A and B are shown apart, each in its own frame.
Chain A
Amino acid sequence: MSLDSKVPQGPIKDKWTDYKNHIDLVNPANKRNIDVIVVGTGLAGGSAAATLAELGYNVKAFCFQDSPRRAHSIAAQGGINAAKNYQGDGDSTYRLFYDTVKGGDYRSREANVYRLAEVSANIIDQCVAQGVPFAREYGGLLDNRSFGGVLVSRTFYAAGQTGQQLLLGAYSAMNRQIGRGKIKMYNRHEMLDVVKVDGKARGIITRNLITGEVERHSAHAVVLGTGGYGNVFFLSTNAMGSNVTAGWKAHKKGAYFANPCYTQIHPTCIPVSGDHQSKLTLMSESLRNDGRIWVPKHMKDVEAIKSGALKPRELAEDDRDYYLERRYPAFGNLVPRDVASRAAKERCDAGFGVNATGEAVFLDFASAIQRYGKETAHVKGLDENDAALVKKLGQEVIKNKYGNLFQMYEKIVDQDPYNTPMMIYPAVHYTMGGVWVDYNLMTTVPGLYCIGEANFSDHGANRLGASALMQGLADGYFVLPYTIGDYLSHDIRTGPISTDSKEFEEAENDVRKQLEFFVTNKGSHSVDYFHKKLGKIMWNKVGMSRNVKGLTEAIAEIKALREEFWKEVKVPGTNEEYNEELAKAGRVADFLELGELFAKDALNREESCGGHFREDAVELDGEQKGEAKRNDEDFAYVSAWEYKGEPSDAVLHKEELEFKDIELKQRSYK
């Protein structure tokens, strides 16, 4: 099958409007006869479920948590971008489009990104109308902040809980439709397969996580809004339950999986403290508005800080290396995430890491506290030279802006970040890769859609901060409701989809077989044992820095681990009850396949772009020496993998990327 992105013709700024003017619509009476399944209730799934129900479709929504409000979008901290240009600082739809394509290192599809930028402003209007309490200025208007990789302030926020507030907005829109009976909500249900009838997605198989019951659900179309696969690394900022299963099952049923190797390692996370660690906690990128990142210049000071002989605050300014400001004077501490992460790794690999494991750098608010303190003293007519007063006033400003993040840090690390710099290190955060979709957000399986982080489409090889929330809501509120209508307009005469077909029966039997295997295998190791091993392979060999030798080894090691898993995995309990180990076993089984494809994709891509850094693809001289080297001639394409059994047999299809509206350039933040 050849890949058709179905991007409409015409100038980029007219594509979406023209498209909407020419698609087929479904009349309201017919919508009542059409069912849509939405899996996942985060920003993408939740907003899609609410909007489709509002339009009149019968929606069945599924989440594995005990309530749709708990989806992991809730944990997003810093903000949501929108080209409102409320600050009058030169922002526009084009500039947001440009920044996103450049930030993604020219590996995203132009038309999708333009549409995203185009609908972004609407999201803010929509959310405010729903009662989302964004931060405001004293005049009562909305406030903005800056994020990495851009030169304007276009990020809307609600303290450090923007994701929570936006998700509760989508959840409230869902609640309204659940109350009206237009959404039937299935909490604590996990999707375990997609069912295809006559080549089209017509339903799913789920397991009720409380009773263990395996169920068939049918619909005219299926939408996956099931998030990213960062947990393939075991340790990540994802929730414990975040998984790739829905996307992977879709892949096995014919949906191509795109760019699995594009993974975002977020620069500012709390460092790993020991082997017991179950997850990593992000410290919002918004902190880089005010925090300065540094390590000591001299090795003797590194040793002194590690041993406790020297307090970080006591080290003289001249003996500190503010390495981002040194290497990237134009963007300084606000370079994009991939650049900031690699720079931290470079310093730590060179031995300058500041904690016991040597994997931490400082994020320091001392200068910001000084600056804000002086400013406040000045405004209030107080003594700007009173050091204690200035510090107190400055700390109050910082507390107002980032209080919840500082509290979170203090509870985890047991250190007071107002008085000593935070220690941070990069951690796996977001996956730009995902299920391949066309302009309509439809996968290569007709009637199967994929939205939000679960698809691959908008962020290229690197996502800019505050763009995930934007994409999730854009897909769910404003894009999918149009595109899916065009498809469903051909289904108005189909009538209800029966679950009494051989296709449903086969899918259900396959699911039951796997569940039965797990509880009867009685191997020697727990699911976590395998998951942690997989995570170590991924982090060490398919992590921030990749090379041919490591990737080749990773592929072999993951394959061997997968074989061991199927022999030795041990799942206690039965199928017919709440059994978290059983749920985890299925997820890890899929991660063990995805991990190998991920490494294979990284091996294939012989260039460095965005979050994918190959040690054999770096600039060798000039101003950009040591920086990532992209290869547009050979790799300006989307890698879309077709399932053929073993991950090693996956077949590569290329979607060539065309850049008509943005000139391909080396990404420079110097």
Chain B
Amino acid sequence: MDMNLTLKIWRQKNASDKGSMVDYKVSDISPDMSFLEMLDVLNEQLINNDEEPVAFDHDCREGICGMCSLYINGEAHGPDRGVTTCQLHMRMFKDGDTITIEPFRATAFPVVKDLIVDRSSFDRIQHAGGFISVNTSGNTIDANATPINKEDADDAFSAATCIGCGACVASCKNSSAMLFVGAKVSQFALLPQGKIEATDRVLNMVKQMDDEGFGNCTNTGACEVECPKGISLENIARMNREYLAASLKG
């Protein structure tokens, strides 16, 4: 059954504008639409009425690029679990609902416009150490020369499936980025290739994280609940162990 909905959306002209919530109505929304397709309907309507469309980030629309965000009815990526906003479908809502849509909020994620935020702080944390220092010459050892225990490889993979969307930060009352950083530190800490630079990596990435203005972790676990990719809190614990070991060494 098609739905009529009321949307309360954060509108903010640019980074220096104060911003406010604005109400909109949309009608004939199919339950098979994705949440972003519902916003497409709204924007088409706004354009036809000579109003300015709502700006939001999106690209792949299949839950993998990490570009889409949105804080929907008080939850990062909305009420469904294990999905990004682009995979959230309107069948999760019912006719007559009011839906509140805000940007991901954090000091380290300043608003660019409307629902778009600047997450380049995440990139800068990766510049500080999110890599293994190997040249891309191809003259490395054969890929099978170093067998890796399947369990470690699988855990490294699970950590590496983080899409860098920032839902963990938006969901955390302290705006902590520990789940994001922990996932990258863990991926490399679990693999023999990553062990050589482990000490510097964790120290540098954590320092950059602090410099960007992300808060501390107080173990509420909200990040894990809202993470669209199910990144585990174990990654934070592993990073803490790595950090402690590195600090003792350093």
Contact = CB atoms under 8 A, between A and B. Distances in A.
A304 interface: no
Contacts of A528: 40, 44
Interface string A159-180: 1010111001001110110110
A130 B134 contact: yes
Given A70-B66, A140-B150, A175 B193 contact: no
Contact of A164 (B87, B154, B156, B161): B161
A122 B148 CA distance: 19
A124 interface: yes
B177 to A, nearest CB: 14
Interface stretch (A6-14, A255-263, A405-413): A405-413
Interface in B109-143: 112-113, 116, 118-120, 122-123, 126-138, 140-143
**Candidate in B46, B50, B58, B194 with the most chain A CB atoms within 10 angstroms:** B58
A70 B67 contact: yes
A185 B124 CA distance: 11
B64 A75 contact: yes
Contacts of A172: 126, 130-132
A50 to B, nearest CB: 6
Given A173-B136, A175-B131, A411 B66 contact: no
B113 A578 contact: yes
B118 A133 contact: no
Interface stretch (A275-283, A484-492, A630-638): A275-283
Contact of A407 (B13, B82, B135): B82
B164 A67 contact: yes
A88 to B, nearest CB: 12
Contacts of A135: 153, 157
Contacts, number: 218
Contacts of A581: 47, 53
A273 interface: yes
B127 A178 contact: yes
**Candidate in A119, A128, A134 with the most chain B CB atoms within 10 angstroms:** A128
A126 B142 CA distance: 9
Interface string A56-76: 000000000111111110110
Nearest to A211: B14
B103 interface: no
B80 A129 contact: no
Given A239-B65, A276-B40, A47 B57 contact: no
Interface residues of B, number: 80
A414 interface: yes
B203 interface: no
Interface of B: 13-14, 30, 32-34, 36-37, 40-41, 44, 46-48, 50-53, 55, 57-67, 80, 82-83, 87, 89, 91, 112-113, 116, 118-120, 122-123, 126-138, 140-144, 146-150, 153-154, 156-157, 160-161, 163-164, 187-188, 191, 193-194
Interface of A: 47, 50-51, 54, 65-72, 74-75, 84, 86, 119, 122-131, 133-142, 158-159, 161, 163-165, 168, 171-173, 175-176, 178-179, 185, 187, 210, 237, 239-241, 273-274, 276-279, 281-282, 407-408, 411-412, 414, 477-478, 526, 528, 570, 572-573, 577-578, 580-581
27 contacts: A51-B136, A66-B119, A67-B120, A67-B122, A72-B59, A75-B65, A119-B138, A125-B138, A128-B143, A131-B193, A136-B148, A141-B144, A142-B144, A161-B64, A161-B161, A173-B131, A175-B123, A175-B130, A187-B120, A239-B65, A240-B59, A279-B61, A281-B62, A408-B62, A477-B138, A526-B44, A577-B14
Given A69-B164, A164-B64, A240-B61, 8 more contacts: A119-B138, A131-B188, A133-B187, A273-B30, A274-B30, A408-B62, A526-B47, A572-B53
